[in-house]
């Protein structure tokens, strides 16, 4: 029993990280149908900037805040400098631009910071909590909590606020959105700022567990993307469920089957789900009105 509990804790810890990254994908996707492959770099920047500022002597909360704000600003810069000038280009071109942005951010981080692995102290210490014979690190609770809070925030944003609906409207039909008075440029800028900020927050929360380095972004982006696809791209509920599900499948496979197959097991599940439910578990049906 305690064994199962330990596997579940392991899965929840990892799954919460995936879910946080997956949540970051949703906003930009909802605003523009673009899968932002630089999302992982935002996570990396959140961790690296916090480490850098903390090592420079700033208190941890301030360092984290700086990291989130700076990364959000970078997100805006990417939108202004790389995405906006290409407006009107097909979505695929925009996605390729985000891959370019990702390579650029990774290279820049390598030069601005360094090539070593870093971490900063966990928020509530390193003494593991013992529950029913299994253990979990307090930082895991921070990550799980962070994922839930971001999820609730996003859900409210998209369903309860005018701005959130404006974002959805922009993705649905940019021209029509403009006609009803939505400033679509602002919506895009906002969505990049929010996505980057959420990515950075994921980095801040996860770094004491996962550690950080200039090249961790791709790994985060891939797992987060897989989570978002599994749950249904663009749906915060899907991102949350998808992220946790992949984490749990990996941990249970590693625990009961073999750690050699844990990645494979997760991807088999993703393939199966997408085969029967191409929109993911919670994806919206894509009905194009002509």
> Would you tell me which residues interact with another protein (CB under 8 A)?
3, 6-7, 9-11, 13-14, 17, 110, 114-119, 126, 128, 135-137, 206, 209-211, 213, 215-216, 219, 223, 250-252, 254-255, 258-260, 263
40 versus 238: smaller Cβ distance to another protein: 40
Mutual orientation of helices 236-252 and 262-276 as an angle, nearest 10°? 140
Q: What are the distances in angstroms from CA 237 to CA 23, 35, 83, 137, 154? A: 9, 17, 27, 25, 9
182 versus 254: smaller Cβ distance to another protein: 254
Q: How far apart are CA 33 and CA 73, in angstroms?
A: 21
Quote the least distance from Cβ 225 to another protein, whole Å. 14
To 5 degrees, how large is the angle CA 251–CA 144–CA 8? 25
Phi-psi sector, 58: left (phi>0), alpha (psi -120 to 50), beta:
beta
11 versus 283: smaller Cβ distance to another protein: 11
Quote the least distance from Cβ 131 to another protein, whole Å. 12
Secondary structure class of 279 (helix, strand, coil): coil
Is 14 within 8 Å of 209 (Cβ atoms)?
A: no
Q: How far apart are CA 53 and CA 250, in angstroms?
A: 34
Please report which helix (H) or strand (E) contains residue 129, including its range: strand 129-131
Quote the least distance from Cβ 80 to another protein, whole Å. 28
Quote the least distance from Cβ 55 to another protein, whole Å. 11
11 versus 75: smaller Cβ distance to another protein: 11
Quote the least distance from Cβ 198 to another protein, whole Å. 18
State the residue for tokens 């946080």.
20
CA 32 to chain centre: 17
34 versus 136: smaller Cβ distance to another protein: 136
34 versus 200: smaller Cβ distance to another protein: 200
97 versus 221: smaller Cβ distance to another protein: 221
Cβ count near 56 (within 10 Å): 8
Quote the least distance from Cβ 7 to another protein, whole Å. 5
Quote the least distance from Cβ 231 to another protein, whole Å. 19
């Amino acid at each position: 029993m305690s064994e199962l509990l330990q596997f579940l804790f392991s899965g929840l810890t990892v799954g919460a990280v995936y879910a946080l990254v997956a949540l970051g994908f949703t906003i930009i996707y909802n605003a523009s149908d673009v899968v932002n492959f630089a999302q992982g770099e935002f996570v990396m920047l959140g961790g690296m900037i916090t480490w850098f500022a903390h090592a420079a002597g700033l208190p941890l909360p301030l360092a984290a805040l700086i990291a989130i704000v700076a990364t959000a600003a970078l997100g805006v810069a990417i939108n202004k400098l790389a995405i906006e000038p290409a407006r009107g280009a097909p979505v695929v071109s925009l996605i390729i631009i985000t891959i370019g942005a990702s390579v650029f951010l990774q290279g820049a981080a390598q030069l601005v910071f360094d090539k070593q692995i870093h971490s900063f102290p966990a928020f509530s210490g390193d003494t593991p909590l013992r529950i029913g014979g299994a253990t979990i690190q307090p930082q895991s609770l921070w990550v799980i909590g962070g994922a839930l809070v971001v999820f609730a925030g996003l859900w409210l944003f998209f369903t309860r606020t005018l701005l959130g609906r404006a974002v959805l409207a922009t993705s649905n039909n940019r021209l029509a959105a403009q006609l009803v008075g939505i400033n679509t440029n602002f919506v895009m800028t906002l969505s990049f700022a929010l996505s980057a900020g959420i990515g950075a927050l994921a980095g801040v929360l996860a770094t004491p567990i996962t550690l950080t380095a200039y090249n961790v972004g791709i790994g985060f982006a891939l797992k987060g993307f897989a989570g978002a696809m599994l749950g249904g791209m663009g749906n915060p509920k899907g991102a949350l469920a998808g992220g946790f599900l992949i984490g749990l499948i990996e941990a249970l496979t590693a625990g009961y089957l073999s750690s050699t197959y844990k990645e494979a097991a997760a991807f088999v599940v993703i393939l199966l789900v997408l085969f029967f439910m191409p929109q993911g578990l919670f994806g919206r049906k894509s009905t194009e009105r002509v």
